[in-house]
Amino acid sequence: MDFKNLPPVKEQIMKCVRCGKCRSVCPVFAELRYESAAPRGHVFMVQMLRDGVVKPSEEVSKRLTHCLMCENCSANCPSGIDIHELNAAARSYIEQKNPSIGKELLFDTLWTKPSLLNLSTSLMWGAQKAGLQKLARYTGLTKLLPGSLPQAEKILEAVPLRNARSMIPEINPARGEREYKIGYFLGCATDLLYPDIALAAIEVLTNNGCEVIVPRHSKCCGLPHIANGKLETAQSLAIHNCQIYNAYDFDYIITDCGSCSSALSAKNMHFLLGQTEHAQAGEIFAAKVMDLSKFLIDVLDISFPVNHNAKPITVTYHDPCHLANAQKIKDQPRELLRRIPGVKLAEMSDTNYCCGGSGTYSITHYQTSMKILDKKMAMIKLTGAETVATCCPSCTMQLNYGIRKHNMKCSVVHPIQLAREASKKKAVHSA
């Protein structure tokens, strides 16, 4: 990709009027308090990179990667600048000039091959079951890890033995009359770390008149690659996934992960493929992509049978950044929760405040991530909720770690897992 001719760099960089609105909504700037950590500072750095005032060095990369890529700045910019796209373009440019073997192995090799990714997760499961992770902590071996990894490795939860893809058939018929033919995009984290979410999604969709097909050869959505300066790899993943899903006559392409639906959206497809021969394929693909909660409410208008015996449960909802900021999807997950018998929704003071997870950010910037997380956990604690619902596996992992860190007595679920229980009762009732 030609950095200087990428649309955000070429067309948007001069829109900045230096108003500073982005600073007021940036969770990273709220903690670090210096200009080069603020979105406005990143716009300056991208402009200087484009003009050759600064070199594409590791130091510039370090400053740019302070950004969570939460898109809160882009969502609130009065000039309509996609600051996260500028940042992503600059990271990619710097990575091209300073290639990293580690990043190539992780993002170009491991994370582009689902079989290798699954193997690595299986090895982690084995290590956890054998007690090697606990042993390494006890003996202090984890302290030998570079950077913040000695602390960040604790974020990883217990890895399940089986991934979702191994438990879900490729074709899942609708129960009853078929109303929609759905392509289910199975994200990496849902597949490998939270397979129960995928199982719940399939069950609820098929119970409500959807034939659900899970294409066997889909790959990562590409968002981790965009965040880590691997735009060309993200581009190739997008091309691959478009080819896979466009080969079917799907009514919709549904995903339960807010980050995945953001990466597969029309806007991001245009960012990745808009200047290529694959632009039209990207448009056709993205036009069918929809977040699961939005589909359940806006398309299926899902309902649940009245259940006077439903156990009351107080739930607070955390807005994933890539769902709320990037896609403006806030109402549908809440409406889904309100429709579930027994659920009482208790809003936190700033539900749209980032949890600090953002995929790999909690590993690469552990200290900053934890400061942001601590604020989020304080908001959750004040609600008195026993359950936190969210639509992003990265947020789920981060919030679960926050619960352990703060010794809180609550759990984290995806709304679809609560919906499944009500859907089961509906299926029995219908039978």
Q: Which one-letter amino acid corresponds to residue 170?
A: E
Q: Which residues are CB-contacts of 93 (< 8 A; sequence separation ≥ 6)?
A: 3, 49, 56
Instruction: Give me the pLDDT at residue 204, please.
Output: 97
The reported pTM is 0.91
Distances from the Cα of 183 to the Cα of 64, 249, 302, 363, 371, angstroms: 36, 9, 19, 32, 38
Instruction: Give me the pLDDT at residue 388, please.
Output: 98
Instruction: Give me the pLDDT at residue 291, please.
Output: 98
- The burial of 381, by beta-carbon neighbours within 10 Å (0-12 exposed, 13-18 middle, 19 or more buried), is given as middle
User: Are 356 and 370 contacting, i.e. CB atoms less than 8 angstroms apart?
Assistant: yes
Instruction: Give me the pLDDT at residue 129, please.
Output: 55
Instruction: Give me the pLDDT at residue 146, please.
Output: 43
Report the length, in residues, of the chain. 431
pLDDT in tens, the chain (431 residues): 678 777 788 888 888 899 999 999 999 999 999 999 999 999 999 999 999 999 999 899 999 999 999 999 999 999 999 999 999 999 999 999 998 888 898 899 989 998 888 887 776 656 555 654 554 444 554 443 445 555 656 777 777 889 999 999 999 999 999 999 999 999 999 999 999 999 999 999 999 999 999 999 999 999 999 999 999 999 999 999 999 999 999 999 999 999 999 999 999 999 999 999 999 999 999 999 999 999 999 999 999 988 878 889 999 999 999 999 999 999 999 999 999 999 999 999 988 899 999 888 888 899 999 999 999 999 999 999 999 999 999 999 999 999 999 999 999 999 999 999 887 754 444 44
Instruction: Give me the pLDDT at residue 273, please.
Output: 96
Instruction: Give me the pLDDT at residue 117, please.
Output: 84
Instruction: Give me the pLDDT at residue 307, please.
Output: 80
- Give the whole-angstrom CA distance, residue 61 versus residue 65: 6
Domains of the chain (ranges, CATH numbers):
3-97 (1.10.1060.10), 102-149 (no CATH), 164-299 (1.20.1050), 313-430 (3.40.50)
Instruction: Give me the pLDDT at residue 135, please.
Output: 41
Instruction: Give me the pLDDT at residue 130, please.
Output: 61
- Give the whole-angstrom CA distance, residue 293 versus residue 330: 10
User: How wide is the angle at C-alpha 375 spanned by C-alphas 372 and 378, nearest 5°?
Assistant: 150
Instruction: Give me the pLDDT at residue 378, please.
Output: 97
